[in-house]
Amino acid sequence: MTADGNQDLSSFSMMDLFRTEAEAQTAILNEGLLEIEKDPTSKPWLERLMRAAHSVKGAARIVGLTKVVTVAHALEDCFVAAQKEQIVIGPDQADILLKGVDTLAQMSKLSEKDLEKWIGDHQGEINDLLGGLEAAKTGGPAPARKVAQPVPPAAKPPAAPSAAEGEQDRGVRVSAENLSRIMGLAGESAVQAHRLEAFTSALVGLKSRHAELLRMMRSADSAQERLDPKGRSCQALREMLQKAETFQHLTMQRIEEFDLIARQLTDVADRLYREAIASRMRPFADGVAGFPRLIRDLSKQLGKKVKFEVLGKRTQVDRDILDKLETPLTHFLQNSMDHGIEPPAERLAAGKNVEASLKLEARHRAGRLMITVSDDGRGIDIDRLRKRIVEKGLVAEDTAARLSEAEILDFLFLPGFSTAENVTEVSGRGVGLDVVRTFLHDLGGSVRVENNPGRGVRFHLEMPVTRSVMRALVVEISGDPYAFPLGRIERLADVAASEVKMLEGRQYLPLDGKNIGLIDARQVLELGGQSPQGEKWPVVVIGDEEVRYGIKVDCFLGERELVVRALDLRLGKVQDLSAVSLMEDGSPVLILDVEDLQRSIQNLLSGRRLEKIRPGLPGQKKQKRILVVDDSITVREMQRRILQNRGYDVDVAVDGMDGWNSLYSGQYNLVISDVDMPRMNGFDLVRRIRQDSRLSALPVMIVSYKERQEDRMRGLEAGANYYFTKGGFHDEAFMRAIVDLIGEAQE
Partner 1 sequence: MLNREAPHNYLAEWASLLAQEREEVSRDEKTVEVFRLMSEWLALPAHCWVEVVAVRPVRRIPHRSSQILLGLVSVRGEIHLCVSLSDMLGIEKEEGPEDPNFRRASRRFCVVKRDNVSWVFPVDEVHGLISYEEKDVEGVPSTLAKSFQRFSRGLLHIAGKKAGLLDETRVFDALSRSVL
C-alpha pair distances (Å), 98 with each of 29, 91, 119 = 8, 10, 18
C-beta pairs of 611-614 under 8 Å, 24+ apart in sequence? 611/651, 612/651, 612/665, 612/666
According to CB under 8 A, which residues from 702 to 731 bind partner 1? Answer: none
273 versus 439: smaller Cβ distance to partner 1: 273
Per-residue x/- mask for partner 1, residues 180 to 199, rule CB under 8 A? -x-xxxxxxx-x--------
Segment interacting with partner 1, rule: CB under 8 A, options 177-185, 298-306, 618-626, 676-684: 177-185
693 versus 709: smaller Cβ distance to partner 1: 693
Spatial contact of 315 and 330, defined as CB atoms under 8 Å apart: no
Spatial contact of 205 and 211, defined as CB atoms under 8 Å apart: no
Least distance from partner 1 to the Cβ atom of residue 185, Å: 5
43 closest CA partner among 88, 77, 74, 75:
88
253 closest CA partner among 212, 209, 203:
203
Q: Tally the C-alpha atoms within 13 A of residue 267's C-alpha that lie toward its C-beta.
A: 6
127 versus 691: smaller Cβ distance to partner 1: 691
135 versus 186: smaller Cβ distance to partner 1: 186
List beta partners, residue 480: 477
Neighbours of 696 (CB within 10 A): 10
Least distance from partner 1 to the Cβ atom of residue 317, Å: 25
Segment interacting with partner 1, rule: CB under 8 A, options 40-48, 154-162, 301-309, 572-580: 572-580
Segment interacting with partner 1, rule: CB under 8 A, options 34-42, 60-68, 474-482, 535-543: 474-482
Neighbours of 349 (CB within 10 A): 10
Segment interacting with partner 1, rule: CB under 8 A, options 14-22, 25-33, 77-85, 179-187: 179-187
105 versus 525: smaller Cβ distance to partner 1: 525
Least distance from partner 1 to the Cβ atom of residue 182, Å: 10
Segment interacting with partner 1, rule: CB under 8 A, options 416-424, 568-576, 671-679, 733-741: 568-576
Q: What is the DSSP string of 146-185?
A: TS-SPPPPPSS---SPPGGGSS-PPP----HHHHHHHHHH
Is 667 an interacting residue with respect to partner 1 (CB under 8 A)? no
525 versus 601: smaller Cβ distance to partner 1: 525
Q: Quick one: which of 17, 302, 403, 527 contacts partner 1 (CB under 8 A)?
A: 527
List beta partners, residue 651: 627
Segment interacting with partner 1, rule: CB under 8 A, options 453-461, 463-471, 566-574, 673-681: 566-574
For residues 413 and 438, give the distance between their C-alpha atoms in angstroms, rounded to a whole number.
9
Spatial contact of 472 and 583, defined as CB atoms under 8 Å apart: no
Segment interacting with partner 1, rule: CB under 8 A, options 40-48, 339-347, 419-427, 581-589: 581-589
Least distance from partner 1 to the Cβ atom of residue 580, Å: 6
Question: What order do you get walking across the sheet with 356-365 strand by strand?
Answer: 306-311, 356-365, 368-375, 456-464, 446-452
560 versus 646: smaller Cβ distance to partner 1: 560
Is 271 an interacting residue with respect to partner 1 (CB under 8 A)? no
Per-residue x/- mask for partner 1, residues 586 to 615, rule CB under 8 A? xxxxx-------------------------
Spatial contact of 291 and 308, defined as CB atoms under 8 Å apart: yes
For residues 274 and 408, give the distance between their C-alpha atoms in angstroms, rounded to a whole number.
44
76 versus 576: smaller Cβ distance to partner 1: 576
- What b/e readout covers 134-144, taking b as 16+ CB neighbours within 10 angstroms? ebbbeeeebee
Q: By CB under 8 A, name the binding residues for partner 1.
A: 181, 183-189, 191, 478, 480-481, 525-527, 565, 568, 570-571, 574-577, 580, 582, 586-590, 664-665, 693-694
